[in-house]
Chains A and B, each alone.
Chain A
Amino acid sequence: MDVKLKPADYRSDIEPTWCPGCGHFGVIAALTKAFSELGLPPENIVSVSGIGCSSRAPLFMKNYSVHTLHGRAIPVAVGIKLANPELTVLVETGDGDMFSIGAGHNPHAARRNIDITVICMDNQIYGLTKNQISPTSREGLYGSLTPYGSIDPPLNPIATMLAYGSTFVAQTYAGNPKHMAYIFEEAIRHKGFSFVNVLSPCPTFNKVDTFKYYKNKTKDINEMGHDPADYEEALELAFHDLDHYYNPDAPVPIGIFYKGTKETYDERMRRVRERYTASGIPTVQELIDACKPKAI
């Protein structure tokens, strides 16, 4: 069957439960478009998520889906990928999962270059629990637990993931479907750990970082001449990722910050395995018999 599936063929018949105007609708539209462009068989895709509005995404897709615990999408995705490296494994998650409760998992999947694609729908808010600030919320943002306006400086997702050794780091915006689909396609195609931060506005609770806010504010760093192979420049750009929080004239950078080449974890795993089995594969009985007291 060489006929390419259409984007709609990757959608399940479950209607998303997101609020009207939610950025996440665009994310799954672009994601299914990327799947279609890449010609991925749905049965070979596993979408893994944590908890939150964004983490419902896998349930709306027609592929193997694992809706896990809050913050734990990455470990489950790693287990799936190691068990069957032939699968295309994605993590579809949010800023709370990625940078608060589950933040401890990111550095390790990234530095080991596990070949999975992490898509973080960053709306700078906890939506499903109804309006609490997240690690990426700007200072001053109101939440139900910070009625005085947040006094916490935000975390920089791009710089963080670059520092952790992610071999693909990009940012895109839910209001730019074409750019999103392109970035997703590149991220999935990339061999190794890919991280995509999607600025995906929450129309219900975050009244600051809205579609209106981002309009005409995003700037494509690649169009402006940034070479994704340049790690140092990527870091430099990343440090300015949040400038717009403090400076109304600063742009919001989108595009591929970094794309490097490094052996993936499963390639290394395969090499170790080859070394161990070079002189043949023992039977299970032989592995038991190895515990007999040896008589020489």
Chain B
Amino acid sequence: MARFDLTIKIGGEGGEGVISAGDFLTEAAARSGYEVVNFKSFPAEIKGGYAQSTVRISDEKLYSTGDTFNILCCFNGEAYFFNKKHLKEGTVLVYDSSDFEPEEHRGVIFYPVPLSELAKDVMKAYITKNVIALGVLCGLFDIPSQSIRDSIKARFIRKGEEVINLNYKALELGINYVRENLKKVDPYKFPSPRQPKDVVIMEGNQAVAKGAIVAGCKFYAAYPITPATTVGNYIVEDLIKVGGWLYQAEDEIASLGMAIGASFAGVKSMTATSGPGLSLMTEFISYAGMTETPVVIVDVQRTGPATGMPTKHEQGDLFHAIYGGHGEIPRAVLAPINVEESFYLTVGAFNLAEKYQIPVILLTDASLSLRAEAFPTPKVENIKIENRWIYRKEEDPEGRFKKAGRFLRFALFTEDGITPMGIPGDPEAIHAITGLEHQENSDPRNRPDIRTWQMEKRMNKLVKLLREDAERFYEFDMPYSKADVGVITWGLTGSVTKEAIERLRSKGIKINALYMKLLWPIRKDLIEGFVNSCERIAIPETNWSGQLAKILKAEAGVDAVSFCIYRGEPMIPKEVEDFIDYLINNPEMSAGRLTPSDIYGEKSYGII
């Protein structure tokens, strides 16, 4: 267990610097050699609305932003209003006393600071309010102010010395305010710095962007949609620098069409969208499967259906990612559980797309997209990159892939169904691709024999994928040969579950876990092996149906108890813990579906 585990939440008006204050704290933790996770939440409004940034710091690996906070820093009364129900004995509240006065809370430690007044009257610059607050936090909790100064300098270097110095002054003002006016009575203290690790700090969508660059992506088709837009924001300039391009398409249908076109022309390509965009792209996903064109589609899931809650979390697109579309195509679906995996699985998505010439869908979500983590700096030279099989005449001396002068793009004689692609510009590999069923040389055909063989050629590529590339996307945590409960989970809920499992085990509950990063295709044998090691299977998911549970039932006959939360916010570790405790207390339950009301009583949406 961690010796040190501190969560600071900053809340206030959007545009007041809440998010950058959280970023600076995150950087301070990373520079001091600690583990850090940061979750940001923006208002849906362009200006104003409630914004928050939660920073959790520990000396041990962190899986989630936890259940709640130790320190709450409120820039305004709204932030207090939204969070006051979580104030409990020992919680610290730092707040802008020029904006509001809190109610009485037993055992809560108050530090009133007139943040707005200091910014307006002393600094003569309201914009420095967030840095004054950071100074206060430095003064109260021993956060290394030098690190905040470094962050200020890095952030404002383009704005010039004057802006940097103004912010330095604001920081000092906050520190001095604490020294002269406040008496520290809480126990929270930032630990003394240890050897800093070689880390990067990335947000979820940024990790996707960087992963794509590492994978060799050179074309990105974008259409703005919350919460996927920032993947494009993050990748655009990197892409130009490496000789690629981002094109803002007229709609999502065009986006995927363009990505498929670019891929046909020989360039690794992708698009990112959210649920509504995925719906529009579905016809082209089917086409990519039929024409065996590698392409990566990132779905940053948000709360559906229809327009739903665009800035909010849900794991509701799994069915669509796996089954969506007319007809049947080979495809792979990947889902990272944290930011670091968002990076590596994006590389993985390109690798699978290229190796198997299939569309690959990467499922992340609104909350993961805005989560920042410090993780070990990826070393590009150690990352394996797959490239598609491109036809080269010199590798085909017998002319196996030519018949009557035609290039056999869809040749049927390779064992694994994978056949070389021809890239425009090469006179030896001129061919067509078509969404019509086709024979080896691409000509459209309706014949039952050709249809059968081509269908098998395409679908059997997944057999090879399952054999060669599936197992590494299954993370098993199985300390018990027979566990009371086995938890299978995916996406962001996976990282929340990791924390819950640590707590459950410390209570003596025997629990095994499987984190599925490859959701399709499914390795039935691996699922069965896991299921056999557990008395019962529990699957927590943030969707209505328990989509993974249903898929595992259909594909591997797994009986499981689903726990479904569909409120638009991620689960917290305590809820997963309570779900498992509920199962332990109800030994007769081995299949079915639970909602928060079953566990917490009627009309419950959980305990956030």
Contact = CB atoms under 8 A, between A and B. Distances in A.
Partners in one complex: yes
Interface of A: 12-14, 41-44, 46, 48, 58-59, 62-69, 72, 74-84, 86-87, 104-105, 107-108, 269, 272-273, 276-277, 281-285, 287-289, 291-296
A277 to B, nearest CB: 6
Nearest to A61: B432
A115 B264 CA distance: 18
Contacts of B254: 72, 74-75, 78, 104-105, 108
Interface stretch (B13-21, B78-86, B194-202, B486-494): B194-202
Contact of A84 (B201, B266, B381, B436): B266
Interface residues of B, number: 72
Contacts of A78: 247, 254, 258, 261
A292 to B, nearest CB: 5
B558 interface: no
A269 B30 CA distance: 38
A151 B261 CA distance: 38
Interface of B: 27, 30-31, 150-151, 153-154, 198-202, 206, 210, 213-214, 218-219, 221, 237-238, 240-243, 245, 247, 249-251, 253-255, 257-267, 269, 283-284, 287, 374, 377-381, 404-406, 422, 424-427, 430-436, 442-444
Contacts of B378: 288
B426 A43 contact: yes
Nearest to A114: B247
B260 A79 contact: yes
Given A79-B260, A83-B261, A292 B377 contact: yes
B200 A72 contact: no
Given A104-B251, A287-B213, A276 B432 contact: no
A44 B425 contact: yes
Contacts of A46: 265, 424
A271 B261 CA distance: 23
A84 B265 contact: yes
A282 B213 CA distance: 12
30 contacts: A41-B427, A42-B427, A59-B442, A64-B432, A66-B432, A67-B433, A67-B436, A75-B254, A75-B255, A76-B258, A76-B264, A78-B247, A79-B258, A82-B262, A83-B266, A84-B425, A86-B425, A87-B425, A105-B254, A107-B250, A108-B254, A273-B240, A277-B241, A277-B243, A281-B242, A284-B242, A287-B238, A288-B214, A294-B154, A296-B150
A287 B427 contact: no
B245 A80 contact: no
Given A65-B433, A293-B199, A59 B253 contact: no
B432 A288 contact: no
B430 A63 contact: yes
A108 B31 CA distance: 47
B201 A288 contact: no
Contacts of B206: 291
A73 to B, nearest CB: 9
A284 B201 contact: no
Given A62-B430, A83-B219, A285-B379, A48 B284 contact: no
A44 B267 CA distance: 16
Contacts of A281: 241-243
A284 B404 CA distance: 44
Contacts of B287: 68-69
A80 B199 contact: no
Nearest to A72: B257
A203 to B, nearest CB: 22
Contacts of A81: 261
